[in-house]
Structure 1
Amino acid sequence: MKTQNAIRQKIGKENFGRYFKAHWQLYLMMAFPVAVLLIFAYAPMYGILLAFKNYQVSLGIWGSPWADHFGMNNFIRFFNNYNFSECLRNTIVISLYSLLVTMPCSILLALSLNYARKIWFRKTVQMITYCPYFISTIVFVGIINIIMDSRAGILGKFFYENFGINILGSSSLFPSLYVWSGVWQGVGFGAIIYIAALAGVDMEQHEAAIIDGASLLQRIRYVDFPAILPTAVIMMILNVGGILNIGYEKILAMQNQNNMGTSEVITTYSYKVSLVSTFPDYSYSTAIGLFQSLVGLILILITNKLADKLTGNGFI
């Protein structure tokens, strides 16, 4: 038996050697991206140890003492912090709000462009909706502030003078302002993947549906929607996994003292305690980041399992 296994291993190595010799160019092409992945994605995971230590710069990561409570003290501090419930609530509200609005808007735009008869009109709308995506975050927030300013902004002045609402200073309106401005910025770019999925629909299915007397809405429901469903499910799984990982740049730029009650999320809080604080606590912020990553991983696995059972369109 051992002799047979040894023979199989030897044959396998010889086959791999011949395959490698015949296709070495492919392995050479793959070497660089794999090296980049190892250096910038896996090597930094060594820093996760900071979450379980009381990090001191002079001692380094290995030399720093382990945190109390079997290394879990930084997590306990975060869960017991008075900001924890508020940050968690704000993060979930904004993330779910964005998820429930952005994806349907991207799908709706893709379907609308797919049925646009005039090519010049379709191209014009695509260009107009794509453009905001390429504006930097700070410039984009500056545009929002100019438009929504209660003294000189086009919309902000109108709402303030007629309804007494200061949009930029309203805590209750911050989630809507963040999400819908995000739709304005990203709906065109988000629709690209759905447009690509719709491009793969066989036109014979539409022709058959038209012959059977299907209306436009029926064609969308029974022909187009099943075609983009697998893509939509995959995008939903990825977005659900990032519920606690909202990008802090835009929120941080839009924050002010008046809307802090709904704009303080986990990422902005972690940024402030690690980089902005007078006494940066890197171990504490690393623990917060690790907590976000673990929750995201769990949500991805759960959502993938549910999506696979309900629609049959999961990752695995």
Structure 2
Amino acid sequence: MSQLSSLLSLILVISSTAEDLHLTTNDEGYLTVIQGFAAQLNCALNTCSPNVIWSKDDVILFNGTSFVKSSSVDEKSYKLQHKVEIDYEKGCSSSCDDSTLCAIGTSCVDNQCCSCSKEEFTLILRNLSFEDSGRYRCQIGNQSEQLEFQVEVLESGLKGGFHENISYDHSECCAEKGISTLCRAMCKPSEMAEYHFDPTSCKTDDYKNFLACATDNGNRTHVHCCKTQLVPSFCYDFCSGDFKMLRRSHRLCLYYLPEIFECYNRAYRMLTNPPLERFPTRNRIPLTASLSDSHHHS
């Protein structure tokens, strides 16, 4: 019997009926993600329950919000983002603590059991490797209700740690413009390891807003630098403040992030005649890399 089946058999039968509990997601069922970056899998419940389980290939990762240790799973590769939306119209009732759990449909907030309108269990996959490819499942205890995600990790071709010597910092501007959390690492690459950077999830508005920050609202252009760095012309959209929309051709620009980031960096430092690091000419580009909106535009 698998580890997952063993645990499910121990979970008490939930008093609510299966029709009362529903899982939803804003992610696709099949995700192609990029080696070395991050990805997130969203799982939302229409109320609250301590019995939500995340697993990968039938090996449990999280039981509720608790990581389940296993010899086959590296804890550093995963993080669970947990968020509860309280239904304040229904209010809060009995008290609770670490030893006194709340009933299904309520959550412990400030030591009170409060009614829920939504509970999210978002699984973050960090520093993606090929071993992270597989089938991920979010389900409610011993019920049939579940969400399944097939994740495929693609080669990026990027050298690890390329971001460490990039010193520009547009994080304040990015925060003001409301750039998605998974795209914030573009704003301060030196802290990329602390963020969960998923360039494939960044939308057109994320890139537009970031480039407004990186080009001083369009008053500065990095196109000449990008030419010097041998960035292909179809990626010049990421070198100026005139970004319109994500296109299919942009899928290859992820491969040139080090060069593009270096151009942002040079402008940010504003040094006189700085020595510009020259990256080796690319002799191979992984054709499988893709961006979030790429299938919408040609």
TM-score (norm 1): 0.22
Greater strand content: 2
Q: Larger Cα Rg: Structure 1 or Structure 2?
A: 1
TM-score (norm 2): 0.23
